[in-house]
Amino acid sequence: MKHESKARKAWKFFRAITPRHWGWIHFKVALGFGWGTAILFYPPPSIQQDLNHDTVYVWAFGTIIGAVISIVGILMTVSHRDHRKITGLGVESVGIVLLGGGPLQYFLLQLGYLFDGEFEARYQLTWFAYAMLAAIIVRAIIIVPQFIDVVVAIKREKEVIERAADHS
């Protein structure tokens, strides 16, 4: 039996990642690590004044952890093993929810400022926050239906197997 080198396996794995997946990975790195660390280390003065530090930590770490989990999930989906692909969709779904938590709270905060008399100062930040959420929503629209379809198919398959076992 011939064994592949680790370098060759790694090369095959990275070649399996599609350009579309690389694009999503870059987005998750930018939002998760870029925005997540920016809000953690350099929160805007208004956020520092209006929110306690624990809230900002939860936003930041939730976003960073969500990025890691969702990137792991997307990498799992490029596996040659069906079980790992399915698990990857579930993992990525959990990561997407965590990744979106910080931007969602930031969006809601900007909306609050917007309607609290700071329209000119907050209008562009509100749209920026929404843009972050919109990209997360697009990814969720892509992967969640796939995950649901797989779960439903597995459930149907189990029911068929159980019925066949009952009739034998």
* Domain map (residue ranges) of the chain: 17-167
| Cα–Cα dist 110/129, whole Å | 8
What per-residue confidence (pLDDT) applies to 41? 94
What per-residue confidence (pLDDT) applies to 132? 94
| Cα–Cα dist 158/7, whole Å | 39
Q: Terminus-to-terminus CA distance in the chain, angstroms?
A: 40
What per-residue confidence (pLDDT) applies to 69? 98
Q: Which residues of the chain have pLDDT under 70?
A: 1-2
pTM of the model: 0.85
The string of pLDDT tens digits covering residues 68-102 is 999 999 999 988 888 888 899 999 999 999 999 99
The C-alpha angle 39, 24, 132, rounded to 5 degrees, equals: 40
